[in-house]
Structure 1
Amino acid sequence: MKRFFKIASAVLLLACPFIALKAQTQSTEESWIQAKKQAQTEKKLIFVDLYFTGCMPCAQMDKEVFPDPKVTAVLNADFVTFKSDILKEEIGKKLCMKYGVTGFPTFLLMNADGKVIDIAGGFHNVEQFLALLQNAKEAAKKGNFKKYSPEIQEKDYPDFYKQAYLDGKRNVPFEVIDAYLKSKDVADEISFVIITGLRVGKQYDDAFLLNSKKLAKDYGRWNVTTHVFSILQRKKKEYEKKKDLKGFTELVNDSKELYTPEEFDKYSSILLKDFGVEKVVVNPSTSQK
């Protein structure tokens, strides 16, 4: 599943002439501050692309979507664009930490004050991307924002989480994470990004599923649906042991309204495929040529 999401989500902005002109040679904390100031001055929204060089969906977006005149026109008219390579630039790492980003590209859409309108990721064709931008504009006009705080406050995060994103030390023992989370409300922003950003499971899976619709409303569908899929993959193993296809199908269907119809068709087919079929692992060292 991790491979699936890496393939399905990694995209953005090198080929788009407009964005290429606006982009910095290196995104820094100062350039991020300047982007927000520009948005305030020009009364525009902010479009952030978190990407990395070498990402296949990024190249597809660059080739097929961002050069499109309709896309360029909307970004130019209504958004200040900001991009950051999350493997090379500290501000990109900090934004990933702030929003618990795990797949790329991830797009942040926010107002000039840093209030998040929506978070999305993965490849979007031209029409899908234009719809994303239009929906963000309409939500901003209505004052519909997510619950994220507007600023990055590093002191608010536990050391293990900061080290996971800023230093790449992502193999955090569950006991360390659990010791922190058990004293917190798992629906709070910091707890939410820790759970989704570090893919925390075990006893936190059921609570996350139970509250998934509210969490999607508070923090956006992208991080929630990605994590729900991971949970359901873990749950599949439990239901297979009980040979309970009916129960697992009902559990999968409970998450249906989190997804678009197209997404649910795709993800449910992946989850329900070969339910209970024993997976045969062939040892490469003994297999015949």
Structure 2
Amino acid sequence: MKKRLLITLLSFATFALNAQGIKFCKGNWATIKAKAKAENKYIFVDAYTTWCGPCKWLSKDIFPQKKVGDFFNKHYVSYKFDMEKGEGVKFAQKYQVNLYPTMLYFTPEGELVHKTVGACAAETLIKRASNGLDAEKQFYVLKRRFKQGERNSQFLKNYIEVLGDAKENLSEPMGIYFAQIDKKDWASNENWAFIKKYERSALSNIFSYVFTNRAKFAEANGSNKVNGYILQVLVRGVKEVVNANNQDQLDAFVKKLQAFFGSDAQRRIARTKHLFYARNQPKSFQYTYDYFDNYCNDVHELNRIASDYCEKFEEQLYLEKALGWVEKSIKLDKRSFNTYTQAQLLYKLKRYKRAKKAAKESIRLAQKEGKSFKNTRKLLNEIKRVM
């Protein structure tokens, strides 16, 4: 009886919470547009997928909040749209939805004017949705004005903010905006806060200026904040440099790593060069060997490169190299995944007795870890067959 009462109370609480949040309308897209036009309301679309974790968090913890519901229900006809089912597929193609969650905002006439990407707190969601009602802060409106040549500082600031909310590239307007400000004022509290929030590119001139003048920025804004910002940009910058595939940019980035990271610089430089030259043989071997032989102590990273070599190569030289890396991984932390890679490599090297032992150890560890060992069992059977 008590259990039933508890379930009833919980169900009622959930219903009450949902009732005070955003009221999402049912029906197809045409129905939603007709309703918005009839009520002269903007349209809010939560473009989601069923596998998107942040989408689920928004639906569970943010959309049901009263203050969120009060704002959206007053100003918007709201609609949840699965981008991988029914007419959602064509909708995603038409409006170029490829990151989740994406929030789209339409006029009562059905014109797309605003976009934001990513989950956020209730206050931020309301602020972003307020921008969707303001022609001075609507993403697509400002994007059009920028293309038409508008460049005043307040406009650029608004444009950068909405670009950031939409996870779009903002390097061009950032460069134009700060070109209008005397560099001696870049370290001011206001300008520093703007740089810290929106300049995330390790390859930009703005970041290079901050890096070169980091003592000045630290004096004005605190060394912990400035160094923390530089650390974040440099760590993220590795992928950016690799994707850019530009030797001059790599060289400049390496100099920053050398200057900033002290005793850890050589490891970071070696890893960056390994990734940068990965598609450039024979340089890829040179820098891969340097990083994994001399610097890498990451269990998973060592296993990944060993597994990669096992799949790509048949030559004994490369397989032996990979075996050394995976055994280094095992010494750091023996797990089912790296002992499986070890068994694969030993099998390819025709060292069947050791391969059998490694496969059995991988199965034992997988059972202990609660992991599947189907592939390892298959490998073990193959090893037994050829012995």
Q: TM-score, normalised by structure 1?
A: 0.50
Structure possessing the higher relative contact order (Cα contacts under 8 Å, 6 or more residues apart): 1
Which one has a larger percent helix, Structure 1 or Structure 2? Answer: 2
Bigger Rg over Cα:
2
